[in-house]
Structure 1
Amino acid sequence: MHAVPRASPPPQVTATPAALALLARLQARHGPVLFHQSGGCCDGSSPMCYPVGDFIVGDRDVRLGEIGGAGVYISPSQFEYWKHTQLIIDVVPGRGGMFSLENGEGVRFLVRSRLFTDEEFAALAEAGRV
């Protein structure tokens, strides 16, 4: 009898080509960066992009993964709310968050999402990711 191969857990965060292109420009200008999704007031609904070292990631913050070489973190309360979804970092016209590096670029990062399938969520659970 052959064992059924287990599904690999899907990435919890991905990015569109437009987001990766903007990210590369910001990294060229500012060096290593990270994203944080807090869910707080004001700019909290957008992922904020900071130079590494300018934002202290909290002990309880969850690392979702990496896009374009940048770590992506989320507050525990937001993770609990969004753990059933894959976050997709995108770029849209507009003004970036007050402290986010894309401010002044004429575009801003935006989180889109899609629900994980039951199989994907089970693979994440088995891997201890949710």
Structure 2
Amino acid sequence: MHRVAITPEAATLLRGLRGSHAQPLMFHQSGGCCDGSAPMCFTQGTFLTGPQDVHLGDLDYGAPEPAPVWISREQFAYWSHTHITIDVVPGRGAGFSIEGPTGNRFIIRSRVFTDEEAAELQTYAAP
């Protein structure tokens, strides 16, 4: 059972960013401050996670390594019942997210877990 996924279009952009930055990438789901509630993409090590963050999962997008996705523990409390998909649309990216200059921006699409999915998630340790 996965909590996070990526669309083929977002994976294509992410592979391009991985190639141009020549470093592994990661996402952190913003809590809704300056850039609303946007998934922010960083090179790994640029944004430091800590005990206040929850690791939602890793995105396999066709690069040598997966891209981990993190969310603040407080934000996770609100979104724990939803499956998150990272997508991309034309537009200006978030100020600190590395897709900004591409003319595209990452967005979140979400849906509530089904009863079956929620039950399956209960079998895993809480993050």
TM-score normalised according to structure 2 size:
0.90
Amino acid at match of 2:93: G
Q: Deviations over 1:9-38 (max 9, x none)?
A: x21000100010000001111110100013
Amino acid at match of 1:90: D
CA contact (8 A) 1:37 1:44 kept: no
CA RMSD of aligned residues (A): 1.1
Query: Helix, strand or coil: the match of 1:43?
Result: coil
Amino acid at match of 1:40: G
- For the pair shown, which has the larger CA radius of gyration, 1 or 2? 1
User: What is the match of residue 3 of structure 1?
Assistant: none
Runs of 4+ residues over 3 Å off in structure 1: none
TM-score normalised according to structure 1 size:
0.88
Amino acid at match of 2:31: G
User: What is the match of residue 14 of structure 1?
Assistant: 5
Report the Cα distance in structure 2 between the residues aligned to 1:44 and 1:66, rounded to whole angstroms: 23
CA contact (8 A) 1:96 1:106 kept: yes
Aligned length, in residue pairs = 121
Unpaired segments of 5 or more residues in structure 1?
A: 1-9
**TM-superposed deviation, 1:54:** 0.7
Listed as ranges, the matches of 1:1-130 within 5 Å are 10-30=1-21, 31-67=23-59, 68=61, 69-129=66-126
Unpaired segments of 5 or more residues in structure 2?
A: none
